[in-house]
């Protein structure tokens, strides 16, 4: 944090535009005993945490909500490039000569960038500010430090050299949340299988996400009820300092969790009954793993089990939230509802995950059915409908997002180019 306090406000704004308040994690410790105990409840077959039948898993939407990146992502998702030359990437990112980059990589045994060298290099740049609007090299170096230690940690004294391409694409407008979540799930699987090894893929975010979903750690759900101007991370890191517990005490605590002690609403969920779906299956309700459906269809099928069958040929289409159009005519509404019923009947809808304790997603699914039935009866009885204030549609996914998600599906499974990840599958 010494370098952070040395940087100017304009530098802070540039960095926070990329990573939000993730920098605050630098002063937050990770409770490794808590994470290792929680990973014991991870179900690798379905890619979910299973606490006595209560199942939850981090989603792209929730991680995006946690990070709250102010600068919009306009270039799709991060696409790994296994053929990238790290020396040229460091030259582009930090503005250092290729020879110096080669020398530093050699000092880091060609596997990464020494954190001590990067800290000294950034401090020198921060103490000699340029005349530009922000200190480009120092800010890029600080982002490399954040990505390499808090988001994609490697080893205690090195930053994985592949992180340079993540930072470059993040600065260029690409979303890195998908890569971060894939890395997290991949290494949860790995740690669960081998019973040792440290988490990669931001253990800080995973820790806060887990604590935020359990009622004993909060009086109200942070994703729903935090309404002040602070970011979610700024609110959560001060509210959820993990208590010091032993492995046995954490295991006992997690085994005693009941469905009533979990909260499920995320702040990005629109209120009221809705119909969610893809253009290829308009009107068929899906659960809230929308971003995951777009990027990791196989992963979502494992999570949902037999709850809904997503056809293979359309599982990468952009999602959208479709609200019933109150301005349409009664015959048009009747035809639309009939088509929705036909498509729903053609889908495989089996029993819900928690019939005794329905989650918000399941309540939304039931609300959709009631909404469709009520809407159908109104449309068939009278062509004159009361005026309803239109609810704005949610923006559709960017067209480039389709090709990016499709192109990166297999590279993402291979990870970001880390040697330790080659034999690990999620």
Query: Average per-residue pLDDT in the chain?
Result: 63
What's the CA gap between 61 and 289, in Å, rounded?
8
The parent domain of residue 380 ranges over 275-393
What's the CA gap between 344 and 337, in Å, rounded?
10
User: How far from chain centre, in Å, is Cα 284?
Assistant: 24
Q: What angle do CA 411, 415, 420 make, to 5 degrees?
A: 140
- Any domain includes 222: yes
- Any domain includes 321: yes
Q: Are residues 346 and 283 in the same domain?
A: yes
What are the pLDDT digits (tens) for 120-173?
877 877 777 666 667 788 888 899 899 988 898 877 788 887 888 888 888 888
361 in Cβ contact with 367 (< 8 Å): no
What three-state secondary structure class fits 155?
strand
pLDDT of residue 334: 63
Listed as own residue / partner, the contacts of 245-251 with beta carbons closer than 8 Å and 24 or more positions apart are: 245/33, 245/34, 246/33, 247/33, 247/36, 247/37, 250/33, 250/34, 250/37, 250/38, 251/37, 251/40
- Any domain includes 111: yes
What's the CA gap between 190 and 200, in Å, rounded?
10
Q: Are residues 309 and 252 in the same domain?
A: no
Q: Are residues 142 and 284 in the same domain?
A: no
- Any domain includes 105: yes
- Any domain includes 59: yes
- Any domain includes 399: no
pLDDT of residue 4: 81
pLDDT of residue 380: 37
Q: Are residues 309 and 238 in the same domain?
A: no
pLDDT of residue 389: 35
What are the pLDDT digits (tens) for 106-118?
665 456 788 888 8
- Any domain includes 400: no
Q: Are residues 245 and 381 in the same domain?
A: no
Q: Are residues 165 and 17 in the same domain?
A: yes
Per-residue pLDDT, averaged over 238-244, amounts to: 65
Q: Are residues 389 and 412 in the same domain?
A: no
Question: What is the tally of structural domains in the chain?
Answer: 2
Q: Is the pLDDT of residue 356 over 60?
A: no
Q: Is the pLDDT of residue 196 over 50?
A: yes
Q: Is the pLDDT of residue 405 over 60?
A: no
Enter the pTM of the model: 0.59
Q: Are residues 170 and 87 in the same domain?
A: yes
What are the pLDDT digits (tens) for 256-270?
776 666 654 333 333
């Amino acid at each position: 944090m010494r370098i952070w306090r040395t940087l100017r406000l304009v530098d802070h704004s540039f960095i926070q535009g990329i990573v939000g308040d993730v920098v605050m994690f630098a002063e937050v410790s990770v409770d490794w005993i808590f994470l290792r105990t929680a990973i014991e409840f991870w179900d690798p077959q379905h890619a979910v945490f299973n606490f006595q039948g209560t199942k939850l898993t981090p989603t792209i939407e929730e991680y995006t909500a946690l990070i709250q990146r102010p600068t919009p992502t306009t270039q799709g998702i991060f696409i790994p490039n296994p053929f990238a030359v790290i020396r040229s990437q460091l030259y582009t990112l930090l503005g250092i000569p290729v020879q110096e980059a080669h020398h530093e990589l050699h000092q880091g045994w060609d596997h990464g960038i020494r954190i001590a060298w990067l800290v000294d290099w950034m401090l020198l740049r921060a103490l000699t500010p340029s005349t530009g609007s922000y200190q480009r090299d120092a800010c890029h170096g600080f982002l490399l430090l954040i990505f390499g230690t808090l988001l994609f940690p490697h080893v205690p004294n090195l930053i994985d050299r592949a992180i340079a391409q993540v930072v470059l694409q993040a600065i260029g407008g690409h979303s890195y949340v998908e890569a971060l979540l894939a890395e997290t799930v991949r290494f949860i699987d790995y740690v669960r299988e081998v019973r040792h090894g440290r988490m990669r893929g931001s253990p800080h975010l995973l820790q806060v996400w887990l604590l935020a979903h359990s009622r004993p750690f909060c009086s109200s759900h942070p994703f729903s009820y935090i309404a002040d101007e602070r970011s979610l991370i700024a609110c959560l890191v001060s509210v959820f300092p993990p208590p010091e517990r032993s492995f046995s005490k954490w295991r006992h605590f997690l085994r005693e969790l009941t469905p009533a002690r979990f909260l499920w609403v995320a702040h990005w969920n629109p209120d009221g009954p809705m119909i969610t779906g893809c253009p290829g299956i308009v009107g068929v309700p899906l659960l809230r793993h929308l971003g995951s459906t777009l990027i990791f269809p196989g992963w979502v099928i494992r999570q949902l089990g037999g709850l809904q069958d997503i056809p293979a040929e359309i599982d990468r289409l952009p999602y959208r939230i479709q609200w019933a159009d109150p301005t349409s005519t009664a015959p048009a509404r009747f035809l639309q509802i009939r088509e929705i019923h036909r498509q729903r009947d053609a889908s495989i809808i089996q029993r819900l995950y928690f019939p005794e304790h329905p989650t918000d997603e399941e309540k939304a699914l039931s609300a959709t059915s009631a909404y469709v039935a009520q809407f159908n009866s109104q449309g068939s009885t009278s062509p004159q409908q009361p005026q309803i204030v239109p609810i704005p549609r949610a923006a559709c996914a960017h067209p480039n997002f389709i090709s990016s998600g499709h192109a990166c599906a297999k590279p993402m499974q291979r990870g970001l180019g880390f040697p330790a990840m080659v034999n690990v599958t999620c």
